[in-house]
Amino acid sequence: MSRSDSGDTTNQGMAGQLKDKAGEMASNIRDTASQLKDQAAEQFQSARETAAEYYQQGREKASQWEEEVETFVRDQPLKALAIAAGVGLVLGVIWKRI
């Protein structure tokens, strides 16, 4: 076996090792990317559920306030009218200055 044949064999062996290492690294990168994707999906779902809960709580609170205002207006219509007129007057003055 000549010296050049020995070098070719060594180079082929190193090339094979590099190819194997590159394959391992690609596999590791795919695994890491998959894990990150899964974590991102879980966090997105969690944020979505939290947002839905806040939205529902806001709707319930708004509905509760609406009922309270309706009850107040029914129980004390003159007082409610005076408050509405006062608020309208204040807003009118503010908007006129702007």
Choice between 7 and 58, residue whose per-residue pLDDT is larger = 58
Specify the pLDDT at position 16. Answer: 87
- pLDDT for 35: 96
Written in H, E and C, the secondary structure of 33-97 is HHHHHHHHHHHHHHHHHHHHHHHHHHHHHHHHHHHHHHHHHHHCHHHHHHHHHHHHHHHHHHHHH
pLDDT tens digits, 1-54: 455 556 677 878 888 898 999 999 999 999 999 999 999 999 999 999 999 999
pLDDT on residue 11:
79
Q: What is the pLDDT of residue 1?
A: 47
> Structure tokens of 65?
């306030």
Number of separate domains in the chain: 1
Q: Global pTM? A: 0.54
* C-alpha span between 85 and 40 (Å, rounded): 52
Band of pLDDT at residue 98, cut at 50, 70 and 90: confident
Residue-number span of the structural domain to which 71 is assigned: 3-97
59-92 per-position pLDDT tens digit: 999 999 999 999 999 999 999 999 999 999 999 9
Q: Which residue has the tokens 């879980």?
A: 42
